Copies of this chain bind each other. A is one copy, B any other.
Amino acid sequence: MVAQERSARTRQRLVHAAAVEIDENGYERATLTRICKYAQLSIGALTFHFNSKRDLADAVRADARALTNDRMKQVAHGHAPGLDCLIHLTGELAHLLETEVVVRSAARLERDCPGDGGWLESWLPAVRCLLREAQRSEELRPGVDPQVMTALAVHLVTGAETFARASAGGADPHLPAVATQLERMWEVVLRGAVATP
């Protein structure tokens, strides 16, 4: 293994360890000591790659954005723009939150240090765009405001983050996956909850 490749792997191990630590304890509580312990690397190795905890957090955010952008592109590729695509997109976000600690960690960073930009910006513009498209094509019921739908989507994904963290922490294994739960909620939202509107 060439030195460069080894260095990249070490860096990746540190970012993963930082994500685990931030997801579990939040940015402020995260310690470099625990990150090194998770990564099975020395503090020297850490400081060779990252100047500070903030640097590590930025790397976590960048990885999460890259992963999310990639998944968003795949979804957009496989579905015509509109509500079906939106549901697949939020389902992918829920799945990422459940399975990728780096994404869960970036979502927590977004809450812990709001205004820093980051994960939300890797999917929110796509959600907005799909909802405008759904309105233009009259897929949305007349009178349904795309902005309200966008807020609803953000609320659902925010809720999914909380559920995903609980489920990653070893919640009831009989509960359905976060993405499945989200899909059921969308089904209600699309068709309506009441018998006689």
- Chain A residues packing against B (C-beta within 8 Å): 25-26, 28-29, 83, 111-112, 114, 138-142, 144-145, 148-149, 151-152, 154-156, 158-160, 162-163, 165-166, 169, 181, 184-185, 187-195, 197
Contacts and interface: CB of A to CB of B under 8 A. Distances in A.
Contact of A148 (B112, B145, B165, B188): B188
Nearest to A152: B185
Contact of A155 (B28, B165, B185): B185
Contacts of A112: 26
A195 B138 contact: yes
Contact of A159 (B26, B156, B190, B195): B156
B188 A139 contact: no
Which of A151, A163, A190 has the largest count of B CB atoms less than 10 A from its CB? A151
